[in-house]
Structure 1
Amino acid sequence: MNVHKIPVSVLVVIHTQDGQVLLMERADAPGFWQSVTGSQDEGETLEQTAIREVREETGLDAGEFELTPWDLSTRYEIYERWRHRYAPGVTHNTEHVFGLKLPAPQPVTLAPREHLDSVWLPWAEAAERCFSPSNAAAIRLLPTRL
């Protein structure tokens, strides 16, 4: 098994039809709010990664809702504080965006080692709260996806 993360990840914007977005506060960086995100595991499709990460981070079953690839990816420099998780010399990650549409805000079960808190916010407010520029940019696209 690979001990290093693969530098390919998913970002899943969990949202409602009326534009509310779920954000979670990182346990390893209090004050950093984000959507579901996670690295692809060996042998997984991006969709499988999205479904697994949603389940691990929120307890939600993405199969019960509308999961859609947004055909959007961003290559970005991995924050220095998290580079140790990747193979030596890996400095960039490619993130693939998905949307998960729910009929209404759902209660979530956070993974305590990953997140401290969660909140449902109107999309514009959620975008402002995100620490990640690519996450904020994806949320700002939400009105075109509703």
Structure 2
Amino acid sequence: MTAKPPKIPVSVLVVLHDGNGNVLLIERADCKNFWQSVTGSLEPNETPEAAANREVLEETGIYLSDGQLCNWHESTEYEIYPHWRHRYPAGVTHNTEHIFSAEISRQTPIKISLSEHTAYAWLPLAEAAEKVFSPSNRAAILNLHKHLF
């Protein structure tokens, strides 16, 4: 078995919402009670938009149509949790996260990747913001209203 190459310290965060004040969260398989929006690192030569679409499909089974993904043109830099730094090149301590959102119907079938997540839930904005473990995810959920059209 070959080792995975180190992750690129650039990622995406995609807040999936129903347009009626509810957000879809998924629970990480590797950390019980770590709820989050869709996230993931860029692959080599991948744009943030392509990564966002790929991660939504991989983590929820949802294919976003053209124009459905909203690029906030915002990013956050944060310190990578020490217990996850081994996934990155030696000496890397920070990650840049690009923020996106997409409106999806609550009737859309959700098929989580069981290797990455154990559950999903639709929650009202305030409850979702309280439940996520990441401060940048919390801020994105609370700022969602600025990016609705």
TM value normalised by structure 2: 0.93
Q: How many equivalent residue pairs?
A: 145
8 Å Cα contact 1:65-1:100 kept in structure 2:
no
Equivalent position to 1:98, from 97, 100, 103 = 100
8 Å Cα contact 1:105-1:120 kept in structure 2:
no
State how far apart, in whole Å, the 2-side matches of 1:64 and 1:123 are. Answer: 25
C-alpha root-mean-square deviation of aligned residues, in Å?
Answer: 1.4
Equivalent position to 2:53, from 51, 54, 65 = 51
Gaps of 5+ in 2: none
Aligned identity (percent) is: 55
TM value normalised by structure 1: 0.95
State how far apart, in whole Å, the 2-side matches of 1:12 and 1:36 are. Answer: 5
What letter is aligned with 1:51?
N
Equivalent position to 1:132, from 131, 134, 140 = 134
1:13 aligns with 2:15: yes
Aligned to 1:34: 36
1:145 CA drift (Å): 2.3
1:65 CA drift (Å): 6.7
Equivalent position to 2:113, from 111, 114, 124 = 111
1:13-54 alpha-carbon deviations (Å, 9 max, x no partner): 001111210000000001000000000000111110001000
State how far apart, in whole Å, the 1-side matches of 2:19 and 2:87 are. Answer: 35
| 4+ residue runs over 3 A deviation | none
